[in-house]
Amino acid sequence: MIVQEHVSLKPYNSFGLDVNACYFCELQERRDIALLQERKVFDTESYLIIGEGNNILFTKDFEGYVIHNQLRGIEIIEETTDTISLKVAAGEDWHAFVLYCCEKEWYGIENLAYIPSTVGAAPVQNIGAYGTEIKNTVTTVEAYHIPTREFVTLTQEQCKFGYRTSVFKDCAKQYIILSVTFQLSKIPQLNTTYKDINEALRALDSQSTKALDVANVVTQIRKRKLPEPSELGSAGSFFKNPVVSKARYESLKNQYPAIISYSQENDVKLAAGWLIEQCGWKGYRQGEVGVYDKQSLILVNYGHATGQDILALARKITASVQQKFEIDLQTEVNIL
């Protein structure tokens, strides 16, 4: 394992921020963990495991080890007439894995196409889109548990998946995810309830919709609506959608009849993008930072912003939403 010093993290974060890592190395095989342990990397707090950096805001240089996950491999571990289980190494590209499964007509993750991620980072915030979350198909997660220095396998339940969270996010720095096992269906089971997906599929006029059709439609929609990290720096949604009680929602609805919400079993999720837009931020730009003009949840770097610039804008947005709606926005992005 080669450990480099003073490495630019610009190619390793989707905001395109120009920060440095004091030390940088690639995790290419499991025994690299032992080498990191020998170097006493895990004896300090100064280490960070990254995938593609699509959900990180670096506000300063990282004064420690950045460990770039490059573990590769996809293995079928069980197959029945109806299901297939695959163990996927954490450094695999998520979208490539989705397409691989869709082409084989294995169902369950097609709605999550084109989310920029490694497979290993996907359980961290339980990635989700278009009515699907990764937790629906994850059976186990294999990880290195830093406090005990043991390799562990967590069941779906032990992962404590929630809305954009999991045990890996709650206990940041405790786990290095090495592989994720998924169980997918060989029987077509599509979730096309989202209006955009439904309309695009109907336009295809196909006799029987396949997983790949959904993945392609989702990809086209996402390309239309979201900035490409290679063209405009962002980390996707900067804030989580706030969840409020039904009573609180009713009172907001009385005051703001057009409020956008998603009803859940016991509470109501509000569209943070709508709240931000109502505060006048949509398309806002100040110098090198701004709010994406097609989606107010996304903060963008027009080229030369610093992490501090982005954080300052995020704080202004949070304060204005608090002032207008008395709602505390929480960040989805990991701020370092």
The only residue of 16, 69, 97, 313 in contact with ligand FAD, by rule CB under 6 A: 69
Q: Does residue 239 interact with ligand FAD by CB under 6 A?
A: no
Beta-bridge mates of residue 165: 162
Q: How far apart are CA 136 and CA 182, in angstroms?
A: 9
Which of 36, 88, 106, 118 touches ligand FAD (CB under 6 A)?
118
* List 9, 129, 197, 279, residue binding ligand FAD (CB under 6 A): 129
300 binds ligand FAD, rule: CB under 6 A: no
Is 166 a binding residue for ligand FAD by CB under 6 A? The answer is no
Helix axes 195-204, 211-225, angle to 10 degrees: 120
Q: Confirm whether 248 is a catalytic residue.
A: no
User: Which position among 21, 25, 115, 146 is part of the footprint of ligand FAD (CB under 6 A)?
Assistant: 115
Token pair 């967590």 is found at 154
What is residue 59's DSSP assignment? -
Q: Is 86 in the site for ligand FAD (CB under 6 A)?
A: no
Q: How far is the CB of 293 from ligand FAD (least distance, A)?
A: 15
Taking the complex as a whole, how short is the minimal distance between the CB of residue 181 and ligand FAD, in angstroms?
14
The yes or no reply on residue 66 touching ligand FAD (CB under 6 A) is no
Task: Round to whole Å and give the CA distance between 229 and 95.
Answer: 14
**Three-state secondary-structure class, residue 210:** coil
Distances in Å between the Cα of 152 and the Cα atoms of 15, 37, 117, 287 are 32, 16, 22, 47
What is the Cα–Cα distance from 32 to 97, expressed in whole angstroms? Answer: 24
The span from the CA of 211 to the CA of 108, in Å, is: 8
> Applying CB under 6 A, does 334 fall inside the site for ligand FAD?
yes
Buried b (16+ CB within 10 A) or exposed e, 138-161: bbbbbbbebeeeeeeebebeebbb
The active-site residue out of 166, 179, 237, 296 is 237
Q: Give CA–CA dist 124/55, Å, rounded.
A: 10
Cα(177)–Cα(153) distance, integer angstroms: 10
| Min CB(216)–ligand FAD separation in Å | 16
We find the least distance from the C-beta atom of residue 332 to ligand FAD, in angstroms, to be: 7
Residue nearest to ligand FAD (CB): 51
Q: Which of 164, 179, 222, 234 is catalytic?
A: 164
Measured from the CB atom, the residue of 54 and 278 that comes closer to ligand FAD is 54
Is residue 180 near ligand FAD by the rule CB under 6 A? no
Nearer to ligand FAD by Cβ, of 128 and 242: the residue is: 128
- Which element (helix H / strand E) includes 202? helix 195-204
Q: Does 332 qualify as catalytic in the annotation?
A: yes
- Distance between CA atoms of residues 10 and 155, nearest Å: 35
**Is position 144 an interface residue for ligand FAD (rule: CB under 6 A)?**
no
Q: Is 230 exposed, middle or buried (0-12, 13-18, 19+ CB in 10 A)?
A: exposed
For residues 250 to 289, the per-residue mask of contacts with ligand FAD, x marking binding by CB under 6 A and - elsewhere, is ----------------------------------------
Size of the site for ligand FAD (CB under 6 A): 36
235 belongs to the binding site for ligand FAD (CB under 6 A) = yes
Alpha helices in 12-150, H assignment, sequence order: 31-38, 94-103
Stretch of residues binding ligand FAD (CB under 6 A), selected from 111-119, 153-161, 303-311, 319-327: 111-119
Q: Is 50 in the site for ligand FAD (CB under 6 A)?
A: yes
Hey, which residues are catalytic here? 164, 237, 332
**Chain residues in the site for ligand FAD (CB under 6 A):** 14, 48-56, 69, 90, 115-118, 120-122, 124-125, 127-129, 168, 172, 175-177, 226-227, 229, 234-236, 334
